[in-house]
Structure 1
Amino acid sequence: MSSAAAHLADAPAALCIDLDGTLIHSDLLLESMLLLIKRNPLYLFCLPFWLLKGKAGLKAEIAKRVALNPAALPYNTEFLQWATEQKAAGRSLWLCTASNHRLADAVAAHCALFDGVVASSDTLNMSGSNKARQLAAQFGARRFDYCGNHKIDLQVWRLSKGAVVVNGSAGLQRKAARQTAVLASFPGRQRRLRATIKALRPHQWVKNVLLFIPMAAAHILTSPGALVAGLLAFLSFGLAASSVYLLNDMLDLEADRAHPKKRFRPFAAGDVSLLVGMALTPLLLLASLALTLLLPVEFRLVLIGYYVMTLAYSFGLKRIVMVDTMVLAGLYTIRIVAGASAVDVPLSFWLLLFSIFLFLSLALVKRYAELDGNKRRGKLSAAGRGYLVEDLSLLYSMGVAAGFLCVLVLALYINSPEVTLLYRHPRMIWPLCLLLLYWISRVWMVTHRGDMHDDPVVFALKDPISILVGALCAATVLSAV
């Protein structure tokens, strides 16, 4: 054997690393597709036509139109550390992915770890057998180690010297061992079901209790028919809300990953596949609409209006200063409108006005808490929002004013002729003003001190004093009936 051949035989095999599901806990095609749709939802209609060019053509058309931030991707830190150690030991590392070369090059440049990139061109999808042939031609059969995570990678392992199974099941590892030697394995994350349920945000369904307020105000909450209708409306709104939360989280990946708390959300962290989210979003909406067939048509129209409003919020309104808080306040208030339509009771002007001011105050609490958190971390603005830290004092003033205005509306309502028709002891309701005034003041005091959860509803559910105030408010209203 010549000295050159001996040196080649002794040289460590090139380490070829897959991207999707291996280097990152996500899929670049889906990530880039969501970026494109967020930029302009009308691109949805272009996707089927691009797919006619083949999968490589689809990826190319998307990659041409998006600006991916590789620093915001959910990297597999344990595997990345191992790959870095392999690089330090003198191995040649190559990023080998079916993603379009434009996106793959951006990731490779960010990692500053790879000696080269093998990726899909605008006409050839570098996956499965295509990837296997390319790597065998470039490095030689059985002259490279390959790191992958999917059963399609078995075609590459068949020609590789060794296999590194990342985020793969035990079954995949056994199949890989029948193709080549398994050098190492990095187990996948567990509790996928739990993470999926978390992505649905079932705790946020508590907001749908607002649907029962019109029934309580009309004193028909104990009616069996109204109660059944209210429960159906509650479930329908919950499914629709979860559908929106999934979509919103998928569209907000980059901003969530830059947030100290939201980066742990299932999609942002890569704990749940974006494909699962894309499947569940329409299914939950269809289930929600199916339930509306058992309720008055007015409820269905309100629900559709709610969904359209949330879509508009997700696709752009959330980035417009003050419009975002007005929309958030409207999304709370629309639940009260839906509750009235579900049981066909007239909607009180007083109740609507009270709701608008109260929920505007809570929406401003959410924005203030988020912006104040950024200020404490040394940031000058909120990611994905239009607010600056200089707006804090103004947000505080507007939020407190809106909260106090809702108390004023309540006081005027208690003093109106309508109250005497519904309550035998209307004067007994007056302590409600003091309780609400105290609670709003306390919420803003907690927010001002930086102790507010970014969602005031979650805060209220966990805060013992808020729970006590709520119980006292309920007792006050019951004493007046």
Structure 2
Amino acid sequence: MVIVTVIAPAPPLVIDLDGTLLRTDLLLETGVEFIRHQPLGLLKLMGWLIKGKAALKEGLALATDVDVSVLPYDPSVIELITVERAKGRTVILATASHVSLAERVAEHLQLFDQVLASDGQTNLSSHRKRDLLVKHYGEQGFDYAGNSRDDIAVWGSARHAFVVNPDLGVEGRARAQGNVVQVIRNNFGGARDWMKALRMHQWMKNALIFVPLLAAHQLSNSLLLLQGVLAFLLFGLCASSVYLLNDLLDLADDRHHRSKCRRPFAAGRISIKAGLIVFPILLVASFSGAILWLPWEFASVLAAYYALTAAYSLYLKRLMAIDVIALAMLYTVRIIAGAAAFELPLTFWILAFSMFMFLSLALVKRYSELKEARRKGHTEKTRGRGYYPADLEMISSLGASSGYLAVMVLALYIHDQADTGLYAHPQFIWLACPLLLFWITRLWMVTHRGHMHDDPVVFAIKDRVSLIVGALFGLVFWVAA
């Protein structure tokens, strides 16, 4: 007699989407995308929310166009699915996200045998998801991979639990149920990611706040120096708040960019939820400090900076020419903020020099983006911008000209006896002109050769030649004084 052993097939593996397969949340993704394209659509959002979370998800999913091909998928979960499918196992995608998004994800990955998701009437989360899975596969008839508190109820009815990058306190509650077989934990969302998201290196730009103090030869005034340090910190908090908001609004564009796709929010290393919590906290802290400890004019300039940045992020960045002028103004506003903090007058020369110089740097930024687009063979308008790769030569001409105009302003400044009277030897300032000419010429040559960082300020901070030129530039003014 032949005894045949029948091995029962393994129960289905059910995978959650938001926070598990994806390092992001599609409800927040679609919400941010909606606000970006319809910033005045708050009433429509409220109308969907009044009808319930399921209606909100459906409204956002149908009103936005999320490119699922560039979403931040978790490679560890993809590997888990691939291994289990190779064993002949059925894999189910079960998510509280809207069915239209879930089906697009499944179609893109080609890893799922079935999709269970929310629709306009049912929000498929927590006990609703559990009940549906139990109805299909029975109690303990499936394995489940999830990450959030909503998944605890589902794990309770699963045979095996896979815990993926769990929210705070979730792992302990999942283990208490006694069926956790694997915890997948990736190292992200730490201090390094936050430093990058807050753009701490960009705080160097806020040193422009001290320009009016330098121009007035008041660096020895300890009280003004203290005010300057405080203004520097508060402006930094405001700028970091802006960077967070900008990255949240730019998720779609960043994920299509060769280097910006590695930004913490675009890569899913920091959650959208965390960004939405932190950016208003930084903003409130910045304005509270400005109102309490510095002249009211500084708070006014800070408000103007934030308004201009918000307008740039939402709209102006997509307009040809206006975008680079807005960027130049954002640099110049820092100098104006410094004058407001120190209660010092601004000169025509400082404002004229800064506008031309920073317009040149803004055009460097655009040139490097278009250079990369042309290298890839693109001919259409660049994503999220108002330029074509064919505009490359015109942008380089405008950018170099603007930089040289800044040198002209500096040369004319030397002949203004009303201002140069502050210097003991103003003739030495002439040496600053060839230094600046050299630096601008080299900057544009490096950009033309395709070696420029996406941000020329970051390039200048890391570039040894730029640092030497900067030191010599400062030395020239010190000798002249």
Question: Which TM-score band applies after superposition, normalised by the shorter structure?
Answer: over 0.9
2:213 is aligned to 215
- Return closer, same or farther for 1:22/1:225 CA change in 2, 3 Å cut-off: same
Distance, in Å, in 2 between the alignment partners of 1:429 and 1:190 is 49
1:25 is aligned to 23
Question: 2:149·2:167 contact (CA, 8 Å) conserved in 1?
Answer: no
2:255 is aligned to 257
- Return closer, same or farther for 1:7/1:92 CA change in 2, 3 Å cut-off: farther
1:330 is aligned to 329
What is the identity percentage for the equivalent residue pairs of Structure 1 and Structure 2? 48
For residue 265 of structure 2, give the secondary structure of its aligned residue in structure 1. Answer: helix
1:3 is aligned to none
- Return closer, same or farther for 1:306/1:71 CA change in 2, 3 Å cut-off: same
Distance, in Å, in 2 between the alignment partners of 1:359 and 1:337 is 14
Shift of 1:9: 8.2
2:50 is aligned to 52
Structure-to-structure mapping, 1:33-44, within 5 angstroms: 33-44=31-42
Pair 1:225 & 2:234 matched = no
- Alpha-carbon deviations, 1:225-284, whole Å to 9, x = none? 211221121111101100000010011111111112111111011111111100111111
Distance, in Å, in 1 between the alignment partners of 2:6 and 2:210 is 75
- Return closer, same or farther for 1:297/1:396 CA change in 2, 3 Å cut-off: same
Of 98, 101, 114, which aligns to 1:100?
Answer: 98
Pair 1:267 & 2:265 matched = yes
Shift of 1:170: 10
What amino acid is aligned across from residue 277 of structure 1 in structure 2?
G
Query: What is the TM-score normalised by the length of structure 2?
Result: 0.95
Distance, in Å, in 2 between the alignment partners of 1:87 and 1:7 is 23
Distance, in Å, in 2 between the alignment partners of 1:412 and 1:311 is 35
Pair 1:355 & 2:354 matched = yes
1:433 is aligned to 433
Structure-to-structure mapping, 1:181-200, within 5 angstroms: 181-190=179-188, 192-200=190-198
For residue 372 of structure 2, give the secondary structure of its aligned residue in structure 1. Answer: helix
Of 97, 109, 112, which aligns to 1:111?
Answer: 109
Question: 2:331·2:358 contact (CA, 8 Å) conserved in 1?
Answer: yes
Structure-to-structure mapping, 1:330-479, within 5 angstroms: 330-380=329-379, 381-479=381-479
1:85 is aligned to 83
What amino acid is aligned across from residue 385 of structure 1 in structure 2?
R
Instruction: Using the TM superposition, name which of 351-360 and 289-298 deviates more.
Output: 289-298
2:301 is aligned to 302
Question: 1:382·1:388 contact (CA, 8 Å) conserved in 2?
Answer: yes
- Alpha-carbon deviations, 1:119-144, whole Å to 9, x = none? 11212211111110011011222211
Distance, in Å, in 2 between the alignment partners of 1:45 and 1:318 is 25
Distance, in Å, in 2 between the alignment partners of 1:7 and 1:124 is 43
Question: 2:16·2:94 contact (CA, 8 Å) conserved in 1?
Answer: yes
Distance, in Å, in 2 between the alignment partners of 1:250 and 1:65 is 18
Distance, in Å, in 2 between the alignment partners of 1:171 and 1:64 is 34
Shift of 1:78: 2.3
Distance, in Å, in 2 between the alignment partners of 1:13 and 1:24 is 23
Distance, in Å, in 2 between the alignment partners of 1:407 and 1:208 is 22
What amino acid is aligned across from residue 18 of structure 1 in structure 2?
D
- Alpha-carbon deviations, 1:345-389, whole Å to 9, x = none? 111111111111100000011111121122223333533212221
Distance, in Å, in 2 between the alignment partners of 1:151 and 1:8 is 38
For residue 16 of structure 1, give the secondary structure of its aligned residue in structure 2. Answer: strand
Shift of 1:8: 11
For residue 41 of structure 1, give the secondary structure of its aligned residue in structure 2. Answer: coil
Distance, in Å, in 2 between the alignment partners of 1:213 and 1:320 is 30
Distance, in Å, in 2 between the alignment partners of 1:191 and 1:116 is 32
Instruction: Using the TM superposition, name which of 458-467 and 158-167 deviates more.
Output: 158-167
Distance, in Å, in 2 between the alignment partners of 1:27 and 1:300 is 35
Question: 2:188·2:270 contact (CA, 8 Å) conserved in 1?
Answer: no
1:70 is aligned to 68
Distance, in Å, in 1 between the alignment partners of 2:147 and 2:420 is 69
What amino acid is aligned across from residue 67 of structure 2 in structure 1?
N
- Alpha-carbon deviations, 1:424-451, whole Å to 9, x = none? 2111110011111111111111111111
Question: 1:93·1:114 contact (CA, 8 Å) conserved in 2?
Answer: yes
Distance, in Å, in 2 between the alignment partners of 1:432 and 1:339 is 23
**Structure 1: which 5+ runs fail to align?**
1-5
For residue 235 of structure 1, give the secondary structure of its aligned residue in structure 2. Answer: helix
- Return closer, same or farther for 1:170/1:478 CA change in 2, 3 Å cut-off: closer
- Return closer, same or farther for 1:314/1:7 CA change in 2, 3 Å cut-off: farther
Distance, in Å, in 2 between the alignment partners of 1:25 and 1:305 is 35
**Structure 2: which 5+ runs fail to align?**
none
Shift of 1:162: 1.7
- Return closer, same or farther for 1:418/1:230 CA change in 2, 3 Å cut-off: same
Instruction: Using the TM superposition, name which of 18-27 and 253-262 deviates more.
Output: 253-262
What amino acid is aligned across from residue 354 of structure 1 in structure 2?
F
Instruction: Using the TM superposition, name which of 312-321 and 176-185 deviates more.
Output: 176-185
Distance, in Å, in 2 between the alignment partners of 1:454 and 1:14 is 46
What amino acid is aligned across from residue 122 of structure 1 in structure 2?
G
Question: 1:26·1:270 contact (CA, 8 Å) conserved in 2?
Answer: yes
- Return closer, same or farther for 1:340/1:143 CA change in 2, 3 Å cut-off: same
Distance, in Å, in 2 between the alignment partners of 1:330 and 1:480 is 29
